[in-house]
Structure 1
Amino acid sequence: MSLLRQLLSPAPAAAPGPVAEPPVEYISEPSGERSITSIDDYVHQLSQWAHMGSTLGVQQTLSGSPAERITNSLEGYATSAYAANGVIFATMLARMMVFSGVRLTWQSLSSSGPSRLFGTADLEILENPWSGGTTQDLLIRMITDVDLAGNFYATVVDGEIVRLRPDWVTMVLEPRRFRGGVLGHRLIGYLYQESGEGDYIPLLPDEVARFAPIPDPLATYRGMSWLTPVLREIRIDGQMNHHKSQFFTNAATPNLAVSLKETVTVDQFKEFMEVLDASHTGIENAYKTMYLGGGADVTVVGASFEAMNFKQMQGHGETRIAAAGGVPPVIVGLSEGLQAATYSNYAQARRRFADGTVHPLWQNAVGSLAPLLPRPSGARLWYDARHVPFLREDTKDEADIQGREAATIAELVKEGFTPASVVNAVRAHDWTLLEHTGALSIQLQPTDPAAATDDEDDGEPAPDPDDDTPDEGEE
């Protein structure tokens, strides 16, 4: 009860705010001056100088826009990355579909290691976690929260698993006292606040399943989303997609600078801009012939897609995003992965994804769900991936391994080892577990010494079957 009083104290710990974004670097500029660092700055300066004694007026046809920052939070990742970026969505979808394909079960544990899989009635809550829900729904929720927030939380209420939105959960820690000082912190519970406001609901550590496969290096228990290290790539990919959109919006042409002579008045300049925009802006006006007069001159000031190797640049960013998610580009269907795609390469990529990403996630997930249901003695919560379609090639490899193990077992039994010890030794890869029956094969049986001595004492040679000479006493 003392712990509950701590959690329900009048001044509970405030919910943690969002992680601070990296500081934006600003360049201070002298008063009265404006630094020219981009095409927009250049055009701004020239437009200010036009018709004020300068000799040049400029209108550009493709203006830039600043990249919107993605807030480092569940809502920011969900709206600005998952729902707004095709590469992020495809990578998360590949993780989601494979991760949700397993069946959860119990696995027996013995002195020789893990063995058979079996089920009990206690697994019902994982098979039907909530009304109308399935194991796949639960696993999809788990991997989605982990991808976007780095953490998944759930508890059991009235016989159903209730998912706790990660950004509404606060971990309660207390200092661990040791030898007169503080040695780390101990998790003593959770506080859940629906919608991030209102009263806190206290939960004990053994009442909550917490799945956080990627640890936050700056926290003791909190996890980190794999999207965090690639925020820059996500923003750049969004900018490149916006660049393509602007390219087609502005007549599917490179960025143009149109200059006029100094004799053009302000009204004539503005009228020229309106006519040019009306005739050549928009995808419906693409590829039209541009007619100019009055000394107007057009210069291409932007690089074309080919000149800046646009496809390769975007492909590199997509590959970095997929690598952060632990998914080979060929599995996601990204351009760089498909360029070198062969059956052999795909098989290797599939094995890398399964062995290096999905299996570790499954192992962590079953351990995280264990507090939600009673565990049988001598068993652990585990997963059965034998019927996952994505891993069918692994099933073939596993059958080959089992065939070799069966041949090894048969050979050892023939050599006189007990069948039970042979199975344990092969399963555990530990030959010290072998126990011999004492019986040896006929090839290893020693010869009879008495029979050998009788043959030596007889002294008479063996009869020659080809000798026709009659023995003594025979006629």
Structure 2
Amino acid sequence: MRWPWQKTETRAASSFVALASLPASHWGRLDAGTLMREGYSGNAVVYRCVRMIAEAAASIPLSVSNDEDAAHLLSNPSPDEAGRVLLERLYGDLQITGNAWAEAVTLSGDSEPKGIFALRADTVRAETNAQGGLIGWAVRQRRGERTLHREADGWSPVLHLKLYHPSDGIYGFSPLAAARKALDIHNGAAAWAKSLIDNAARPSGALVYGKNGSSLTPDQFDRLKEEIETAHAGKHNAGRPLLLDGGLDWKPMSLSPAEMDFAETRHAASREIALAFGVPPMLLGIPGDNTYATYKEANLAFWRLTVLPLVCKVADALQMWLSGRFEDITIKPDLDEVPAFAAEREALWSRLEAASFLTAEEKRRLAGVEA
């Protein structure tokens, strides 16, 4: 032992080469195409969360008052799809990429839009000026791009819906981007398990050399280590069998999928993904700790805390956007059509009915019913 805190390096008589290592972590990209491909298309938990939110939100009808043309436009935005289908696409894009775009089509000589079409989130990019201000949207087509600018009166034919992003004033931030690490862990665990199955499901382990006191030379040690890292490390080589010779012995280690509990790791990643989307894990059938005592409570929390704020946000954005072409319109979600809120409505009506100090007109106003 040398002073201070120095010691000479010695090699034991028995060489021990492990097949496990902890390289630097690499996380996936956050662009729209990658999130769609690896998230929505490549992960069942993400797919189910997005479908649940988009379908539930689109099932809440949007009531339009003071303009029949605007109401007809939202219920029949295009000849090929209904209003609910358009809203489902917008809600889905918001959950996957944090952004959603819709384009209003106006006929020549007419100021009011006659159709609304959703734009694919991975084909739209912002056009900015030298100061970084937004001046239009470039939409990628099969050949080239087309740019949509504001009209002469300042109205934009493009509606941009986005979720709050703390460091970007143009684009929104996706729940899936916040759960990107959990998504990579979930997909990586699935790929690792599949690789083990493809390679005869053999566990990890180590090579032991030198039972009789002999040891590897430095060149042999380095060459064997390089061969192990090249041919037996990583998820693509998981469980790959070894050819042992020259006094090498195989020693299993505690790095098998059962001992590392890949199933529980995937469940934990699934719960984190569901948390980012605001979907109670109980509704997805994910085992583990449940915050809500019953399925009914979890379902009500899902509608009240996740779906309803999203619908109100989109309704307000549509009202502001279309008010530039339809005067004095009001767009609000019709909650009377939502079965999940039936118990709350009944409780409200019972309290209003028992309030003898209120007039019938005041009761109707508090219940949200027009006179």
TM-score (norm 2): 0.72
Matching residue of 1:98: 56
Distance in 2 between residues matched to 1:152 and 1:146, nearest whole Å: 5
Q: Deviations over 1:378-402 (max 9, x none)?
A: x5111224334xxx24212312211
Contact 2:65/2:71 (<8 A) preserved: no
Mark the CA change 1:73 to 1:66 in structure 2 (over 3 Å): closer, same or farther: same
Aligned ranges 1:283-298 → 2 under 5 Å: 296-298=248-250
Q: How far apart in 1 are the matches of 2:194 and 2:127?
A: 43
**1:130 counterpart (69, 75, 78):** 78
Distance change (3 Å), C-alpha of 1:67 and 1:186: closer
What is the aligned partner in structure 1 of residue 186 from structure 2?
Answer: 237
Structure 1 residues 74-89: aligned runs within 5 Å: 74-89=32-47
2:274 matches 1:322: yes
Cα distance in 2 for residues equivalent to 1:120 and 1:221? 33
Aligned twin of 1:164: 119
**In structure 1, how many angstroms separate the alpha carbons of the residues matched to 2:69 and 2:245?**
85
Give the whole-Å Cα distance in 1 for the aligned partners of 2:277 and 2:350.
Answer: 35
SS in 2 for 1:254: coil
User: Are the counterparts in 1 of residues 65 and 330 from structure 2 also a CA contact under 8 Å?
Assistant: yes
Distance across 1 between alignment mates of 2:354 and 2:69: 37
Quick one: which of 358, 363, 376 aligns to 2:307? 358
Q: Larger relative contact order (C-alpha < 8 A, sep ≥ 6)?
A: 2
Counterpart in the other structure of 1:368: 317
Kept after mapping to 2: 8 A contact 1:103/1:383: yes
The 5 A counterparts of 1:50-65 are none
SS at match of 2:137: strand
Q: Which amino acid aligns with 1:96?
A: A
Deviation at 1:123, TM superposition (A): 1.8
Post-superposition offset of 1:68: 6.2
- Tell me the CA shift for residue 422 of structure 1: 5.8
Q: Which has the larger radius of gyration?
A: 1
What is the 5 A alignment of 1:32-47? none
TM-aligned CA deviation for residue 88 of structure 1: 1.6
Going from structure 1 to structure 2, the CA distance change for 1:293 and 1:211 (only over 3 Å counts) comes to closer
1:452 corresponds to: none
Contact 1:147 1:225 (C-alpha < 8 Å) held by counterparts:
yes
Partner of 2:361: 420
> Structure 1 pair 258/155, CA: closer, same or farther in 2 (3 Å)?
same
Which residue is 1:224 aligned to?
Answer: 173
Which amino acid in structure 2 is aligned with residue 243 of structure 1?
A: W
Q: Using the alignment, how far apart are the partners of 1:74 and 1:293 within structure 2?
A: 50
Per-residue CA deviations over 1:264-319 (Å, capped at 9, x if unaligned) read 9x9xx9xxx9xxx9xxxx99x99xxx998985522013423443343333322211
Q: Deviations over 1:159-186 (max 9, x none)?
A: 22122333423154687xxxxxxxxx87
2:130, 2:314 → 1: CA distance? 26
Q: How many Å separate the matches in 2 of 1:146 and 1:355? A: 18
Match for residue 331 of structure 2 among 364, 372, 381: 381
Query: Alpha carbons of 1:406 and 1:121: their partners in 2 closer, same or farther (altered >3 Å)?
Result: farther
Identity across matched positions, percent: 19
Q: CA deviation at 1:364?
A: 0.8
Indicate conservation of the 8 Å contact 2:77/2:86, yes or no.
Answer: yes
Rounded to whole Å, the distance in 2 between the matches of 1:162 and 1:396 is 36
Which structure 2 residue ranges, 5 or more long, are not aligned? Answer: 1-12, 108-113
2 CA distance for matches of 1:310 and 1:169?
39
Between the two proteins, the alignment pairs up a number of residues equal to 323
Cα deviation, 1:342-371, whole Å, max 9, x if unaligned, reads 8x4222211221111110100111122232
CA distance in 2, matches of 1:87, 1:327: 10
Change in 2 beyond 3 A, CA 1:385/1:198: same
How far apart, in 2, do the equivalents of 1:242 and 1:103 lie?
41
Change (3 A) 1:307 1:55: closer
Change in 2 beyond 3 A, CA 1:199/1:303:
closer
Task: Report what 2:138 is aligned to.
Answer: 192
Instruction: Indicate how the Cα distance of structure 1 residues 316 and 383 shifts in structure 2: closer, same or farther if over 3 A, else same.
Output: same
- Counterparts of 1:401-440 in structure 2 under 5 Å? 401-408=348-355, 411-412=356-357, 419-420=360-361, 423-424=364-365, 426-427=366-367
Question: Residue 246 and residue 145 in structure 1: after superposition, are their counterparts in 2 closer, same or farther (change >3 A)?
Answer: same
Determine which of 194, 210, 215 is the counterpart of 2:160. 210
Structure 1 Cα separation of the partners of residues 145 and 257 of structure 2: 55
Aligned counterparts of 2:179 and 2:92: Cα–Cα separation in 1: 17
Distance 1:186 1:246, change over 3 A: closer
The one-letter code sitting in structure 2 at the alignment partner of 1:352 is A
TM-score (norm 1): 0.58
Task: Specify which of 274, 277, 285 is matched with residue 333 of structure 1.
Answer: 285
Counterpart pick for 1:400 among 344, 347, 350 = 347
- For the Cα contact (< 8 Å) 1:82–1:89, is it kept in 2? yes
Preserved CA contact (<8 Å) 1:207 1:372: no
AA partner of residue 264 (structure 2): Q
CA contact (8 A) 2:50 2:96 kept: no
Deviation at 1:260, TM superposition (A): 5.6
Structure 2 vs 1, CA of residues 230 and 412 (structure 1 numbering), >3 Å: closer, same or farther?
A: same
